[in-house]
Amino acid sequence: MEARNLLYIFSFNNSNIVRKFLYRILLFGVIFIANALFIFLIDPYNIFFNSNFIEDEIKIININRSDEAMPRANALWKLNEYSKTPKSNIIIGDSRSRHIDVNIIKNLTGEEYYNFGVPGGNYNLIRDIFWLADSKTDLKNVFIQVGFLNYNKFRNYDVYKLVMPYTKNPFRMFFKAWFSFDSFYALLYKIFPEYRNEVITSEEDNQKMNISRWNEVLDKQGYSVLKKYAYPNNYYTELLKIAEYCRQKDINLRFLVFPNHPDFFKIVSELNLEDERERFKADIHGLANTFDFNFDNAITNNKDLFIDLYHTKQCIIDSITNDIWGIKNPGIIMSKYSLESASEGL
């Protein structure tokens, strides 16, 4: 058979027109190339080359700029940061554990912890982060912050699955608008400090109790979520796997339950979910030693110590941190006395 016959399928004999076609495609694609270059240079998650053009402090402000950005941005930032410098002590959880100050823990114990608290984190995220951390280093202390709200079959979104493709193949970021916006805001905060300060102020405002926000959380993250409840067999099974693995590998696993405001218990009661909540507590306590602050105590009864139903103020988080990591024998359940002392002077 002639060579022409084998090659003709892929040959074009008018290269000028092909060149014109490719030139037009290039022209059309300039906007995509520029966008990719922009994301690459700003590098909002320090994934490409740890760009120093924008400081890490600004990038951290950027990842917390909005409720929409926070879950995925925190998850991506932390997954990337942890992968570069894994630590054997970790805290996994949601927005409540995000504010645990690892410097306090270092002062108390001399050990370095990595805080994997991700706003919007749920049991899928806990599972995935635990196994990812375990694959990166030999774990020693693992604190998992849990709550009843997400212990629900229907709370099955998966932030980890959402961001993991970008850590595996960062070039995918060039094709997702999220990262264009992230890069844009990072640059905006760098050039215009007043916008940056707005985010800081807004986060400070979020630390104050606000009745309209309280009611919004009560409705949207309380009633609306809990009215559709089913026991999460899969989550229990996953936690059990983690607990058994930790026992086998001699990893010190602890669960941590933050206090909720009594308004939350009212919802639980009104929706007849008290038995389910008790079952949650029994499940968690049965898996590993648990620091459970979610009982009727000096914190839970004081609305001034809460930002919303689920989030306590930073001073309470610091007190809890001191209580957990300050004691010599971690693993006992906190006494009512220690909680009262934690809230003294607030």
**Nearer of residues 171 and 175 to another protein, judged by Cβ:** 175
Between 13 and 135, name the residue whose CB sits nearer to another protein.
Answer: 13
Place of tokens 């936690």: 239
In the bound complex, what is the minimum distance in angstroms from residue 181's beta carbon to another protein? 10
Q: How far is the CB of 173 from another protein (least distance, A)?
A: 11
Answer for the pair 151, 137: CB distance below 8 angstroms, yes or no. no
| Measured distance CA(28)–CA(7) in Å, rounded | 30
Task: Please say which residue, 178 or 291, places its beta carbon nearer to another protein.
Answer: 178
Considering the complex, state which of residue 21 and residue 337 has its C-beta at the smaller distance from another protein.
Answer: 21
Nearest to another protein of 176, 336 (CB atom): 176
- CB-count exposure of residue 305 (10 Å: 0-12, 13-18, 19+): buried
Nearest distance from C-beta of residue 176 to another protein, angstroms: 6
Closest C-alpha among 48, 31, 27, 45 to residue 171? 48
SS3 call for 135: helix
Cβ-contact 262, 294 below 8 angstroms? no
Contact residues for another protein (CB under 8 A)?
Answer: 1, 5-6, 8-9, 12-14, 17-18, 20-21, 24-25, 28, 31, 175-178
CB of 230 to another protein, least distance (A): 14
Place of tokens 């602050």: 293
Least separation in angstroms between residue 148's CB and another protein is 24
Cα 44–chain centre separation? 17
| CA dihedral sign of residues 196, 197, 203, 209 | negative
Of the pair 25, 211, the CB lying nearest another protein is at: 25
Dihedral angle over CA of 156, 160, 161, 163, nearest 10: 140
How far apart are CB 161 and another protein at their closest, in Å?
10
Please state, in angstroms and rounded to a whole number, the distance separating the CA atoms of residues 57 and 54.
8
